[in-house]
Structure formats: structure tokens, C-alpha cells
Structure 1
């Protein structure tokens, strides 16, 4: 029987468990040294069921690792000005070390204005233009959590990025654009693709490292994966389906993230790790 190649799965769940254990240790040390537990404020506008679930999950994870969470629920009728005022209040509050505004904030909200109200030192979700600029220029600051999680996964599997052709499909402010900047910082040659890209398949075929972050189920066909490529599927669509045809990709990629259990668990792990970093700095200790 000829050997059938199958990609190795990048286990985000196991790596996230290690990051969270390390985060819990750091939170406990910080609390012991200062008498203050790290505190993450979660701001939720309205009652979108998926968002409510996400926030509940994040708060449960906080409790597990010794981070206090302060939940700030706001009615669906909240205006941009009211939301900005709430976030500015949290930014000024010395008892709050990190701020997470659950996305999407709602149809009538200027989300960018709301994100910009987060003080940079509390932007543990890495959503402000300040954080994006710091990340792009390699300056101290917080990374966007999903891209940060992706980089930790690539590092855990010893993926050498220098000189490699990286293709990012998607250009959102919190995923596509920042992950491209982080790959560029590691000396990868980065191509961004999006809904207007002509002949997407031909660009995807050139990728040594492929990051799909577009939110369209099975948009990328298995046969377009370059043999031996490292494939990161950051898409999450209805029915636990990613942006890549996983079955087709398994036979061609060298490494691939499963959906679920790949990128998702890493996002929360990075959020909580950065919350402890923020608290450590604000309490005057060296991270």
C-alpha cells in the first residue's frame, strides 16, 4: 500500500492549556506580591446570543486563571457617545487593568470610535490604532489576540517564517491586516488577498504559509494548497466549518489547524495572558 500523506494537526487546545497554566501562575504571583488580582472589564452592547455566550466563556476562563472580571452590560439602545463615555470611565479606573469590547457592538455604533476610547495600556484585545501601529513597527504594545495566537502556534510547531511566502486571505482590522504585519516582522514575504483579488487560486498555490481569515465556508479548495504548506484556518462558520476545505487540504499540507480546536482556543489564551501583562505593568512591576 502506498503511504497516504496526512497533515499534522496543530493542537491549539493543548497549547492554549499551557499558556493558560502559565498565565494562572503569573496572576497568582502578581496577586501575592501586590494584594491585587488582575481585572478584565468586558463591555457588551445588547444581547446578541453569540456575543453573550462568548462573554460568558471569557469570564469563566478569567475565573479559572485568577483574573477578576467586571461585566458591563449595556442596552441595545446605547449610542456611540454613551459607549465611548463608558469605556473612557473604565480607562480611567485604576481597578481595571484590561478592557474588552465585545464585537460586533451593534448596528448603530461607530465601533472604531468605541475602540479608540480604550486606553492603550488597557487594550489587551489589541484593537486600537495605537496597538496596530506598535505591532506593525515592533514597538511595545498589545497584539490582536487571534493573530497573536496564530504566531504562538507557528512558534510552537517550529515554523521558520524567514524568506517564506505567506498569503493572508482576509483584511479585517482585527485579524487579516495584523497577522500580515506579524508575519512581515518575522521576515516572511506577505501577500494580502481579499474579495477583490483576481484569480485567488493562483495566489494561494504559491503560499508556503497560508492564513485564511475571511469568514466564508470552504472558500479555499484543497487542491489549491501547495504540497507541504503550513495552513492556518482562522475562519469559523456555521456547522464548525472553516474557510478551507479541510479534507482536501489534509492530503497536501504539512501542518494545519483544525476547526474547531486550532486558532480559537489560542485567542482567549492570548487575551488573558495580555491582561496579566497589563496588570503587571500598571501595578508597577516588570512583566
Structure 2
């Protein structure tokens, strides 16, 4: 068996094209997305650059707000409150991680829920758990879109999510439950991870450990979604990217497999753009805070 490679890049390109068509008549007053970057972390700067470029490609106005690493919690909060009040800003995201010592949850709590296009705020997280409408975190939403576009059966399937973060693991487990899958959540401290992952019809890996999942940890015929992005440190491929899954060995066991790069990553940005346009629509209809 050789796995079908799930092409996130192609699927994301189609989503961006649809958004570009949707926004073409509105370029005089387009949606606006503000990206707040605190500090000068190189990886964060690259991610922000990619998001700004994606915005420009589909017709979303990007607003880049850069604050020094020495900014206080109150200065960050004040900047977010300013963006909340700006009528031409429809989505706000704070690029994570924040510099050491800053309170991430407090910063996210400042974002108006109708502009919380990352879906990380407590209100949108609560709406997700309650099954109510709201913004879904972009990576889990992108994974669900990939599964549905790939006609992967969800109802009655056993999904195993390896990772328990508020950004990926927990919200994705909730979305899979809502799709009628049975869900097991495990993590780096779970006992005998391989015994758990081998039970999965759908295995999602988001732990940040390069090539942690090998072929012997995967059920034959499973769908494997690799959310991890790691930079190879040694050898001939030093500097290149790899996922949390050992791609070459797992592709001989799985039925479907996402690559890194070119899998989940492009879908995350595409869903951010979709959320921003949805926020723009909601605010045009008069949505208000809370």
C-alpha cells in the first residue's frame, strides 16, 4: 500500500481563489485584518509575512502592528483595544508565542469576539464546545476541511488526536466529536502512545516532535494528518522542514497522508482568510461585542 497524498496546497489555492472572486466587487472598502507582532522572533516574523502576503493575494487589507519585546501587557492591551474600535479592522490576531513573561490569555481576552478570527478567545472556544456558531481555530478548521474534501468517513470512525493544545488538539477533538467520530486525545506524557495511535482510523499528530510517528505506530489503512512543522537540525537535509510523522515509512502503511510542507500549513492560512471575510460580513450585519 502507498498512501494517497492529501494536497493541502491545492485545496488552499482553491479556497483563496473563491475568496478573491467573492471580494472582487468590494476593493474600494475591503475587509481588514490586523496582525499584532510583539518582539522580533524570526519564525514569527516569517509567519506574519506569509499571512500579509496571503491577505493581499485575495483582496483583504492587511494592517501590520509591530510592538517591541519590551512592550508592557497594558501597552499590548491598549493596542488591541484601539484595533477593536477601528471600523476598518474586521479581524485581529496576536501572533504567538508572545515573548517570555507575557500573559497570552490576558492578551487574547482583549480581542473583541467578533474580530477574534484566530478563534482562540474564551468566548469562541466556549461556543465551539457548546456547538454554537463562532470562529473556529484555523488549523483545526483546516484539518476538518481537508477530511471532508477527501471524503474521509468521520461518523463512527475512531479518531486519535496526539496533542492537547488550545490551538490544535482540544478544538480539533471537539470538531471531530461534532462530526460523530469517537475521539481519543493523547499527548507526550501518555503511556504507550503507539498502542493508542494504532487504534486510529484517523490519526492527527500535533506534538512538535520531528518524525515521532513511525510506521509501526499506524493502523494499516488509516488517514494520517501531520500538523507538526519542525526544522531538521542535522545531516544532508539540515535546514529543511519535516513533520511529526516519519513520512517515508508511514506512507507505506497509511491510506491517506498529509505532507510537510504542503499539507495542513496552507490550509491554516486559508481558513484565517475565510474567518476574516466572515467577520467582515458579520460586522456589516451589525454584530456587537459578546
TM-score of the superposition, structure 2-length normalised? 0.94
Query: Are 2:61 and 1:60 equivalent residues in the alignment?
Result: no
- Bigger mean CA deviation after superposition, 125-134 or 226-235: 125-134
Partner of residue 16 from structure 2, selected from 20, 24, 34: 20
User: What's the counterpart of residue 264 of structure 2?
Assistant: 263
Name the residue aligned to 2:7: 11
Contact 1:80–1:108 (Cα < 8 Å) also in 2 = no
Q: Secondary structure at the match of 1:251?
A: coil
User: Distance in 2 between the 1:52 and 1:42 partners?
Assistant: 11
Aligned pairs, number: 279
Give structure 1 regions of 4+ aligned residues with deviation exceeding 4 angstroms. none
Query: Matches of 1:265 and 1:39 in 2, distance apart?
Result: 20
Whole-Å Cα distance in 2 between the matches of residues 219 and 263 of structure 1? 17
Given that residues 83 and 114 in structure 1 are in contact (C-alpha distance below 8 angstroms), is that contact kept between their aligned partners in structure 2? yes
Counterparts of 1:250 and 1:204, CA distance in 2: 15
The 5 Å alignment of 1:30-109 reads 31=26, 35-109=28-102
* Uncovered stretches (5+) of structure 2, i.e. residues with no partner: 233-240
In structure 1, the residue matched to 2:210 is 217
Equivalent residue of 2:230, what SS?
Answer: coil
Q: Structure 1: state its 5+ residue gaps.
A: none
CA RMSD of aligned residues (A): 1.3
Secondary structure of the equivalent of 2:123?
Answer: helix
Match of 2:111 in 1: 118
Kindly indicate whether the alpha-carbon contact (under 8 Å) linking 1:79 and 1:108 is maintained by their aligned counterparts in 2. no
* C-alpha deviation, 1:137, in angstroms: 2.1
| TM superposition shift of 1:285 | 8.4
TM-score (norm 1): 0.95
